[in-house]
């Protein structure tokens, strides 16, 4: 299946920005601030407009009508093209747990949390055993080469 123009653009931008992590952080941060500024200003404009309309006193400055939406669109574009949009707004853990079909920690029972904690402890123990065994094998191999 052929990738769309937008997917190719996002992949290219992410590939280029990944070589410049500080620039990547600035673009993601500025995009996030512009996105939320746009949401905030648009909401403020709409609430003041409708409150003024309802009271019959049109005191809303209509020159500011595009301020919020432009910030929102520019911020959204920066986040989408840089690949930060979904992970920045939702977070990686939420996305990963959603893909796995897991429930949130607040939805789990105490027994489920304790079971998971025990399973993690067992896995850690096994990994430590494997690490020790590998270190022993490395020592034996190094001893035979000498």
Q: List pLDDT tens digits, range 40-82.
A: 999 988 888 888 767 776 666 667 788 899 999 999 999 888 8
Tokens of 111: 């027994």
Q: List pLDDT tens digits, range 86-128.
A: 776 666 565 566 556 655 555 566 677 677 778 888 899 999 9
What pTM value is reported for the model? Answer: 0.56
Q: How many CB atoms lie within 10 A of CB 78?
A: 21
**Domain residue spans in the chain?**
1-102, 106-146
Burial 17-40 (b: 16+ CB within 10 A, else e): beeeeeebeebbeebbebbebbbe
């Amino acid at each position: 299946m052929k990738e769309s123009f937008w997917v190719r653009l996002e992949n290219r931008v992410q590939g280029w920005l990944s070589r410049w992590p500080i620039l990547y952080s600035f673009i993601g941060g500025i995009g996030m601030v512009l996105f939320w500024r746009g949401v905030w200003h648009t909401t403020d404009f709409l609430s003041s407009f409708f409150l003024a309309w309802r009271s019959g006193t049109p005191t809303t400055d209509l020159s500011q009508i595009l301020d919020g939406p432009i910030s929102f669109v520019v911020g959204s574009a920066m986040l989408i093209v840089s690949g930060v949009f979904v992970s920045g707004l939702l977070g990686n853990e939420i996305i990963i747990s959603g893909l796995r079909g897991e429930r949130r920690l607040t939805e789990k029972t105490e027994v489920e949390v304790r079971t998971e904690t025990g399973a993690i402890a067992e896995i850690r123990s096994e990994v430590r055993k494997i690490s020790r065994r590998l270190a022993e094998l490395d020592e034996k191999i190094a001893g035979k080469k000498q």
